Structure 1
Amino acid sequence: MADTALALIDRHGADGLGIRQVASKLGVNPASLYNHVPNRAAMIEDVRAIVSASIDFRPLRELPWEEGLVAWARSYRRAFARHPKAIPLLMTTRASAPVLLAGYEDFTIAAQAAGWAQRDVLPLLTAFESFILGSVLDMSGPSVVFDPTGQESDVPRFAAAYATLATENPDDPLATRAFELGWRMLVASARPR
Protein backbone atom coordinates (compact mmCIF):
# COMPACT_ATOMS: atom_id res chain seq x y z
CA MET A 1 0.00 0.00 0.00
CA ALA A 2 2.79 2.46 0.83
CA ASP A 3 4.45 1.76 -2.52
CA THR A 4 1.18 2.64 -4.25
CA ALA A 5 0.86 5.80 -2.16
CA LEU A 6 4.41 6.83 -3.08
CA ALA A 7 3.74 6.16 -6.77
CA LEU A 8 0.66 8.41 -6.57
CA ILE A 9 2.71 11.15 -4.90
CA ASP A 10 5.44 10.80 -7.53
CA ARG A 11 2.84 11.27 -10.23
CA HIS A 12 0.42 13.80 -8.70
CA GLY A 13 2.23 15.37 -5.76
CA ALA A 14 0.76 15.66 -2.28
CA ASP A 15 -2.75 16.13 -3.67
CA GLY A 16 -2.57 12.63 -5.13
CA LEU A 17 -2.35 11.02 -1.71
CA GLY A 18 -5.57 10.05 -0.01
CA ILE A 19 -7.24 6.92 1.24
CA ARG A 20 -9.67 6.99 -1.70
CA GLN A 21 -6.96 7.49 -4.31
CA VAL A 22 -4.84 4.65 -2.92
CA ALA A 23 -7.86 2.34 -2.62
CA SER A 24 -8.89 3.12 -6.19
CA LYS A 25 -5.40 2.40 -7.49
CA LEU A 26 -5.34 -0.90 -5.56
CA GLY A 27 -8.87 -1.78 -6.69
CA VAL A 28 -10.24 -2.13 -3.16
CA ASN A 29 -12.87 -0.48 -1.04
CA PRO A 30 -11.49 2.53 0.89
CA ALA A 31 -12.86 1.11 4.13
CA SER A 32 -10.70 -1.98 3.71
CA LEU A 33 -7.53 0.14 3.83
CA TYR A 34 -8.35 1.11 7.40
CA ASN A 35 -7.53 -2.48 8.35
CA HIS A 36 -3.92 -1.70 7.35
CA VAL A 37 -3.50 1.98 8.13
CA PRO A 38 -5.56 4.04 10.60
CA ASN A 39 -5.45 7.34 8.68
CA ARG A 40 -3.70 9.48 6.08
CA ALA A 41 -1.00 10.55 8.56
CA ALA A 42 -0.02 6.91 9.12
CA MET A 43 0.11 6.40 5.36
CA ILE A 44 2.44 9.39 5.07
CA GLU A 45 4.72 7.81 7.68
CA ASP A 46 4.76 4.59 5.69
CA VAL A 47 5.80 6.59 2.62
CA ARG A 48 8.45 8.39 4.68
CA ALA A 49 9.82 5.01 5.78
CA ILE A 50 10.22 3.90 2.16
CA VAL A 51 12.03 7.06 1.09
CA SER A 52 14.15 7.23 4.27
CA ALA A 53 15.24 3.61 3.95
CA SER A 54 17.40 4.73 1.01
CA ILE A 55 19.35 7.22 3.11
CA ASP A 56 22.68 5.78 4.18
CA PHE A 57 23.37 6.91 7.75
CA ARG A 58 26.29 4.47 8.10
CA PRO A 59 28.93 7.05 7.11
CA LEU A 60 27.99 9.08 10.18
CA ARG A 61 28.86 6.06 12.35
CA GLU A 62 31.87 4.81 10.43
CA LEU A 63 33.72 7.83 9.06
CA PRO A 64 35.24 10.94 10.58
CA TRP A 65 32.59 13.68 11.07
CA GLU A 66 33.27 15.74 7.95
CA GLU A 67 33.67 12.74 5.63
CA GLY A 68 30.58 11.14 7.11
CA LEU A 69 28.55 14.30 6.50
CA VAL A 70 29.54 14.38 2.83
CA ALA A 71 28.62 10.74 2.18
CA TRP A 72 25.39 11.00 4.21
CA ALA A 73 24.29 14.19 2.43
CA ARG A 74 24.87 12.74 -1.03
CA SER A 75 22.89 9.66 -0.06
CA TYR A 76 20.09 11.78 1.42
CA ARG A 77 19.94 13.87 -1.76
CA ARG A 78 19.80 10.77 -4.00
CA ALA A 79 17.00 9.24 -1.90
CA PHE A 80 14.80 12.30 -2.23
CA ALA A 81 15.82 13.05 -5.82
CA ARG A 82 13.89 9.91 -6.77
CA HIS A 83 10.77 11.37 -5.11
CA PRO A 84 10.94 15.20 -5.21
CA LYS A 85 7.15 15.59 -5.14
CA ALA A 86 7.13 13.89 -1.74
CA ILE A 87 9.22 16.63 -0.14
CA PRO A 88 6.42 19.13 0.56
CA LEU A 89 4.29 16.39 2.08
CA LEU A 90 7.01 14.74 4.14
CA MET A 91 8.54 18.00 5.36
CA THR A 92 5.24 19.43 6.59
CA THR A 93 4.17 16.52 8.76
CA ARG A 94 5.68 15.15 11.96
CA ALA A 95 8.24 12.41 11.42
CA SER A 96 8.05 9.24 13.48
CA ALA A 97 9.14 6.54 11.02
CA PRO A 98 11.48 4.24 13.00
CA VAL A 99 13.98 3.94 10.14
CA LEU A 100 14.36 7.73 10.00
CA LEU A 101 14.51 8.19 13.76
CA ALA A 102 17.22 5.53 13.97
CA GLY A 103 19.20 7.53 11.40
CA TYR A 104 18.65 10.69 13.42
CA GLU A 105 20.05 8.84 16.42
CA ASP A 106 23.19 8.14 14.37
CA PHE A 107 23.36 11.81 13.39
CA THR A 108 22.99 12.88 17.03
CA ILE A 109 25.74 10.56 18.23
CA ALA A 110 28.09 11.74 15.47
CA ALA A 111 27.30 15.43 16.07
CA GLN A 112 27.86 15.14 19.79
CA ALA A 113 31.12 13.26 19.20
CA ALA A 114 32.20 16.19 16.99
CA GLY A 115 31.55 18.52 19.92
CA TRP A 116 28.02 19.79 19.29
CA ALA A 117 25.93 20.46 22.39
CA GLN A 118 22.71 18.52 22.76
CA ARG A 119 20.63 21.69 22.37
CA ASP A 120 22.30 22.44 19.01
CA VAL A 121 21.82 19.04 17.39
CA LEU A 122 18.29 19.60 16.05
CA PRO A 123 19.01 23.08 14.63
CA LEU A 124 22.13 21.63 13.00
CA LEU A 125 20.20 18.70 11.51
CA THR A 126 17.44 21.03 10.33
CA ALA A 127 19.96 23.35 8.66
CA PHE A 128 21.57 20.42 6.84
CA GLU A 129 18.22 18.93 5.80
CA SER A 130 16.98 22.31 4.59
CA PHE A 131 20.01 22.63 2.34
CA ILE A 132 19.81 19.05 1.05
CA LEU A 133 16.08 19.16 0.34
CA GLY A 134 16.34 22.62 -1.19
CA SER A 135 18.95 21.17 -3.52
CA VAL A 136 16.56 18.37 -4.50
CA LEU A 137 13.84 20.91 -5.28
CA ASP A 138 16.39 22.85 -7.31
CA MET A 139 17.18 19.69 -9.29
CA SER A 140 13.51 19.01 -9.99
CA GLY A 141 12.78 22.48 -11.37
CA PRO A 142 14.07 24.16 -14.49
CA SER A 143 17.79 23.61 -14.96
CA VAL A 144 18.36 27.37 -14.67
CA VAL A 145 15.75 29.63 -13.14
CA PHE A 146 17.35 32.96 -14.01
CA ASP A 147 18.12 34.32 -17.48
CA PRO A 148 19.66 37.73 -18.15
CA THR A 149 19.27 37.40 -21.93
CA GLY A 150 18.46 40.82 -23.35
CA GLN A 151 19.67 42.59 -20.22
CA GLU A 152 23.40 41.96 -20.58
CA SER A 153 24.27 45.67 -20.60
CA ASP A 154 22.41 46.18 -17.30
CA VAL A 155 23.99 43.19 -15.56
CA PRO A 156 27.22 42.52 -17.48
CA ARG A 157 29.05 40.51 -14.82
CA PHE A 158 26.04 38.37 -14.01
CA ALA A 159 25.44 37.82 -17.74
CA ALA A 160 29.08 36.73 -18.18
CA ALA A 161 28.72 34.29 -15.26
CA TYR A 162 25.47 33.04 -16.80
CA ALA A 163 27.22 32.50 -20.14
CA THR A 164 29.58 29.99 -18.49
CA LEU A 165 26.62 27.64 -17.99
CA ALA A 166 26.74 26.77 -21.68
CA THR A 167 29.83 24.67 -20.98
CA GLU A 168 28.08 22.67 -18.25
CA ASN A 169 26.22 19.36 -18.41
CA PRO A 170 22.87 20.24 -20.03
CA ASP A 171 20.99 17.70 -17.88
CA ASP A 172 22.22 19.22 -14.61
CA PRO A 173 24.07 22.42 -15.40
CA LEU A 174 23.88 23.99 -11.98
CA ALA A 175 22.08 22.00 -9.28
CA THR A 176 24.81 19.45 -8.61
CA ARG A 177 27.62 22.00 -8.74
CA ALA A 178 25.66 24.24 -6.40
CA PHE A 179 25.03 21.35 -4.02
CA GLU A 180 28.67 20.28 -3.93
CA LEU A 181 29.91 23.84 -3.48
CA GLY A 182 27.36 24.66 -0.79
CA TRP A 183 27.85 21.38 1.02
CA ARG A 184 31.63 21.88 1.12
CA MET A 185 31.02 25.29 2.69
CA LEU A 186 28.63 23.82 5.25
CA VAL A 187 30.99 20.96 6.10
CA ALA A 188 33.90 23.38 6.46
CA SER A 189 32.00 25.04 9.30
CA ALA A 190 30.44 21.87 10.70
CA ARG A 191 32.36 21.98 13.97
CA PRO A 192 31.05 24.01 16.89
CA ARG A 193 32.89 27.25 17.54
Structure 2
Amino acid sequence: MGRPRTPILSREGIRATALTLVDRDGLEGLSMRKLAQELDVQAASLYSHYRTKDELLIDIADEVTLSIDVSGFETGGWRHGLTVWARSYRAALAAHPNLVPFIAAGPGRREEALRRADAVHGGLVAAGWPPRYATLIGASTKYLVVGAAMNSFARGFDDDVRVYRDRYPNLSQAHRLSEHAAEIDEASFELALSSFLDGLSNVYSREAVSDR
Protein backbone atom coordinates (compact mmCIF):
# COMPACT_ATOMS: atom_id res chain seq x y z
CA MET A 1 0.00 0.00 0.00
CA GLY A 2 1.21 3.48 -0.81
CA ARG A 3 1.45 6.23 1.75
CA PRO A 4 -1.73 8.24 2.22
CA ARG A 5 -1.50 11.65 0.57
CA THR A 6 -3.06 13.36 3.59
CA PRO A 7 -1.49 12.84 7.02
CA ILE A 8 -3.70 10.90 9.40
CA LEU A 9 -4.98 13.27 12.08
CA SER A 10 -5.83 12.47 15.67
CA ARG A 11 -7.09 14.69 18.44
CA GLU A 12 -3.95 13.87 20.45
CA GLY A 13 -1.68 14.89 17.58
CA ILE A 14 -3.62 18.07 16.97
CA ARG A 15 -3.38 19.03 20.64
CA ALA A 16 0.35 18.31 20.79
CA THR A 17 1.10 20.43 17.73
CA ALA A 18 -1.18 23.23 18.90
CA LEU A 19 0.56 23.33 22.29
CA THR A 20 3.93 23.48 20.56
CA LEU A 21 2.68 26.50 18.60
CA VAL A 22 1.43 28.21 21.76
CA ASP A 23 4.71 27.51 23.58
CA ARG A 24 6.66 28.95 20.65
CA ASP A 25 4.48 31.82 19.42
CA GLY A 26 2.02 32.56 22.23
CA LEU A 27 -1.75 32.30 22.22
CA GLU A 28 -2.00 34.90 19.47
CA GLY A 29 0.24 32.70 17.34
CA LEU A 30 -2.28 29.87 17.29
CA SER A 31 -4.91 29.79 14.57
CA MET A 32 -6.56 26.89 12.83
CA ARG A 33 -4.88 28.00 9.60
CA LYS A 34 -1.40 28.03 11.14
CA LEU A 35 -2.08 24.75 12.89
CA ALA A 36 -3.12 23.16 9.59
CA GLN A 37 0.12 24.37 8.01
CA GLU A 38 2.16 22.83 10.82
CA LEU A 39 0.32 19.54 10.34
CA ASP A 40 0.57 19.75 6.54
CA VAL A 41 -3.21 19.44 6.08
CA GLN A 42 -6.06 21.63 4.96
CA ALA A 43 -7.67 23.71 7.70
CA ALA A 44 -11.05 22.16 6.90
CA SER A 45 -9.78 18.75 7.98
CA LEU A 46 -9.22 20.04 11.52
CA TYR A 47 -12.86 20.92 12.01
CA SER A 48 -13.97 17.31 12.02
CA HIS A 49 -11.94 16.97 15.22
CA TYR A 50 -12.37 20.44 16.77
CA ARG A 51 -15.15 22.80 15.75
CA THR A 52 -13.42 25.93 17.11
CA LYS A 53 -10.07 27.09 18.42
CA ASP A 54 -11.59 27.61 21.86
CA GLU A 55 -12.79 24.01 21.94
CA LEU A 56 -9.24 22.91 21.12
CA LEU A 57 -7.76 25.19 23.78
CA ILE A 58 -10.15 23.79 26.40
CA ASP A 59 -8.90 20.28 25.71
CA ILE A 60 -5.27 21.45 25.79
CA ALA A 61 -5.86 23.26 29.09
CA ASP A 62 -7.45 20.16 30.60
CA GLU A 63 -4.50 18.04 29.49
CA VAL A 64 -1.89 20.49 30.81
CA THR A 65 -3.61 20.82 34.19
CA LEU A 66 -4.22 17.11 34.81
CA SER A 67 -1.20 17.05 37.13
CA ILE A 68 -2.67 19.66 39.48
CA ASP A 69 -3.15 17.82 42.76
CA VAL A 70 -6.07 18.58 45.07
CA SER A 71 -5.88 15.32 47.00
CA GLY A 72 -4.01 16.97 49.88
CA PHE A 73 -7.26 18.08 51.44
CA GLU A 74 -8.19 14.42 51.89
CA THR A 75 -4.84 13.31 53.33
CA GLY A 76 -4.09 16.28 55.56
CA GLY A 77 -5.39 19.56 56.95
CA TRP A 78 -6.35 22.65 55.00
CA ARG A 79 -2.79 24.01 55.07
CA HIS A 80 -1.40 20.78 53.61
CA GLY A 81 -4.15 20.76 51.00
CA LEU A 82 -3.37 24.31 49.90
CA THR A 83 0.37 23.61 49.80
CA VAL A 84 0.02 20.56 47.58
CA TRP A 85 -2.49 22.31 45.35
CA ALA A 86 -0.45 25.52 44.98
CA ARG A 87 2.85 23.78 44.22
CA SER A 88 1.38 21.44 41.63
CA TYR A 89 -0.70 24.27 40.16
CA ARG A 90 2.36 26.46 39.69
CA ALA A 91 4.39 23.61 38.19
CA ALA A 92 1.68 22.85 35.64
CA LEU A 93 1.32 26.48 34.58
CA ALA A 94 5.03 27.27 34.59
CA ALA A 95 5.64 24.47 32.10
CA HIS A 96 3.52 26.35 29.54
CA PRO A 97 3.47 30.05 30.53
CA ASN A 98 2.02 31.20 27.21
CA LEU A 99 -1.11 29.17 27.95
CA VAL A 100 -1.60 30.73 31.39
CA PRO A 101 -3.91 33.60 30.28
CA PHE A 102 -6.37 31.09 28.83
CA ILE A 103 -6.27 28.79 31.86
CA ALA A 104 -6.37 31.68 34.33
CA ALA A 105 -9.47 33.18 32.72
CA GLY A 106 -11.54 30.78 34.83
CA PRO A 107 -12.98 27.29 34.79
CA GLY A 108 -16.06 28.25 32.77
CA ARG A 109 -17.61 24.87 32.04
CA ARG A 110 -14.37 22.94 31.94
CA GLU A 111 -15.09 19.72 33.81
CA GLU A 112 -11.60 19.13 35.20
CA ALA A 113 -11.23 22.72 36.40
CA LEU A 114 -14.64 22.66 38.07
CA ARG A 115 -13.82 19.35 39.74
CA ARG A 116 -10.66 20.84 41.25
CA ALA A 117 -12.44 24.03 42.32
CA ASP A 118 -15.11 21.93 44.01
CA ALA A 119 -12.48 19.85 45.83
CA VAL A 120 -10.61 22.93 47.05
CA HIS A 121 -13.73 24.73 48.22
CA GLY A 122 -15.12 21.60 49.84
CA GLY A 123 -11.84 20.81 51.55
CA LEU A 124 -11.60 24.28 53.06
CA VAL A 125 -15.20 24.31 54.26
CA ALA A 126 -14.83 20.81 55.73
CA ALA A 127 -11.77 22.08 57.64
CA GLY A 128 -13.86 24.79 59.28
CA TRP A 129 -13.47 27.76 56.96
CA PRO A 130 -16.72 29.67 56.32
CA PRO A 131 -17.77 29.42 52.65
CA ARG A 132 -16.99 33.09 52.00
CA TYR A 133 -13.44 32.65 53.25
CA ALA A 134 -13.07 29.45 51.23
CA THR A 135 -13.92 31.42 48.10
CA LEU A 136 -11.49 34.22 48.99
CA ILE A 137 -8.70 31.75 49.78
CA GLY A 138 -9.19 29.94 46.48
CA ALA A 139 -9.01 33.24 44.61
CA SER A 140 -5.98 34.47 46.58
CA THR A 141 -4.09 31.24 45.96
CA LYS A 142 -4.83 31.55 42.26
CA TYR A 143 -3.46 35.11 42.20
CA LEU A 144 -0.26 33.94 43.88
CA VAL A 145 0.22 30.95 41.60
CA VAL A 146 -0.62 32.65 38.31
CA GLY A 147 1.73 35.53 39.02
CA ALA A 148 4.54 33.16 39.89
CA ALA A 149 3.93 31.02 36.80
CA MET A 150 3.77 33.88 34.29
CA ASN A 151 6.70 35.98 35.42
CA SER A 152 10.31 35.58 36.46
CA PHE A 153 11.59 38.30 38.76
CA ALA A 154 15.22 37.33 38.30
CA ARG A 155 15.14 37.10 34.50
CA GLY A 156 13.87 40.65 34.34
CA PHE A 157 17.34 42.00 35.10
CA ASP A 158 20.02 42.55 32.49
CA ASP A 159 23.23 40.58 32.93
CA ASP A 160 25.40 43.57 31.97
CA VAL A 161 26.92 45.04 35.16
CA ARG A 162 27.30 48.42 33.42
CA VAL A 163 23.53 48.89 33.49
CA TYR A 164 23.57 49.17 37.29
CA ARG A 165 27.05 50.42 38.17
CA ASP A 166 27.23 53.95 39.54
CA ARG A 167 23.58 54.90 38.92
CA TYR A 168 22.00 52.08 40.97
CA PRO A 169 24.42 51.24 43.79
CA ASN A 170 21.87 49.15 45.68
CA LEU A 171 21.54 46.90 42.62
CA SER A 172 25.25 46.28 42.19
CA GLN A 173 24.70 42.51 42.09
CA ALA A 174 21.54 42.60 39.96
CA HIS A 175 23.44 41.49 36.86
CA ARG A 176 23.92 38.09 38.51
CA LEU A 177 20.23 37.45 39.17
CA SER A 178 19.35 35.96 35.79
CA GLU A 179 22.11 33.40 36.24
CA HIS A 180 20.28 32.03 39.29
CA ALA A 181 16.75 32.68 38.04
CA ALA A 182 15.30 29.22 38.59
CA GLU A 183 16.61 29.05 42.17
CA ILE A 184 15.41 32.58 42.98
CA ASP A 185 11.98 32.06 41.46
CA GLU A 186 11.47 28.79 43.33
CA ALA A 187 12.61 30.24 46.66
CA SER A 188 10.54 33.38 46.14
CA PHE A 189 7.40 31.36 45.47
CA GLU A 190 7.98 29.22 48.55
CA LEU A 191 8.51 32.33 50.68
CA ALA A 192 5.32 33.90 49.37
CA LEU A 193 3.36 30.68 49.85
CA SER A 194 4.56 30.06 53.40
CA SER A 195 3.94 33.70 54.37
CA PHE A 196 0.45 33.49 52.88
CA LEU A 197 -0.29 30.30 54.79
CA ASP A 198 1.08 31.74 58.03
CA GLY A 199 -1.22 34.72 57.59
CA LEU A 200 -4.17 32.43 56.93
CA SER A 201 -3.39 30.48 60.09
CA ASN A 202 -3.88 33.67 62.09
CA VAL A 203 -7.18 34.33 60.35
CA TYR A 204 -8.25 30.71 60.90
CA SER A 205 -7.73 30.89 64.63
CA ARG A 206 -9.86 34.04 64.75
CA GLU A 207 -12.57 33.38 62.19
CA ALA A 208 -12.84 29.76 61.12
CA VAL A 209 -12.76 27.93 64.44
CA SER A 210 -15.43 30.17 65.96
CA ASP A 211 -17.73 29.41 63.02
CA ARG A 212 -17.60 25.63 63.31
TM over 0.5: yes
Which protein is richer in helix relative to its size?
2
Matches within 5 A, 1:40-51: 40-51=53-64
Q: Tell me how far 1:124 sits from its aligned partner.
A: 2.1
CA contact (8 A) 2:157 2:175 kept: no
Alignment partner, residue 156 of structure 1 = none
Matches within 5 A, 1:118-129: 118-129=131-142
Alignment partner, residue 184 of structure 2 = 174
Provide the alpha-carbon RMSD of the alignment.
2.7
Are the structure 2 counterparts of residues 163 and 114 from structure 1 closer, same or farther at C-alpha, using a change threshold of 3 Å? farther
Letter in 2 for 1:15: E
Q: Tell me how far 1:112 sits from its aligned partner.
A: 0.7
Q: Tell me how far 1:108 sits from its aligned partner.
A: 1.1
Cα distance in 1 between the residues matched to 2:154 and 2:168:
21
Alignment partner, residue 60 of structure 1 = 73
Match 1:151 to one of 150, 167, 176: 167
Alignment partner, residue 111 of structure 2 = 98
Letter in 1 for 2:119: D
CA contact (8 A) 2:154 2:180 kept: no
Match 1:82 to one of 95, 106, 110: 95
Alignment partner, residue 34 of structure 1 = 47
1:35-80 residue CA offsets vs partner (Å, 9 max, x unmatched):
2222122112111101111212222322211122112211111111
Q: Tell me how far 1:83 sits from its aligned partner.
A: 0.3
Alignment partner, residue 71 of structure 1 = 84
Structure 1: unaligned runs, 5 residues or longer: 154-158
What is the aligned-residue identity percentage? 25
Q: Which has the higher contact order (CA 8 A, sep 6+)?
A: 1
Letter in 2 for 1:58: S
Are the structure 2 counterparts of residues 42 and 168 from structure 1 closer, same or farther at C-alpha, using a change threshold of 3 Å? closer
Match 1:116 to one of 102, 126, 129: 129
Alignment partner, residue 194 of structure 2 = 184
Structure 2: unaligned runs, 5 residues or longer: 1-13, 208-212
TM-score with structure 1 setting the length: 0.82
Are the structure 2 counterparts of residues 32 and 149 from structure 1 closer, same or farther at C-alpha, using a change threshold of 3 Å? same
Letter in 1 for 2:140: A
TM-score with structure 2 setting the length: 0.75
Cα distance in 1 between the residues matched to 2:109 and 2:65:
11
Q: Tell me how far 1:168 sits from its aligned partner.
A: 9.9
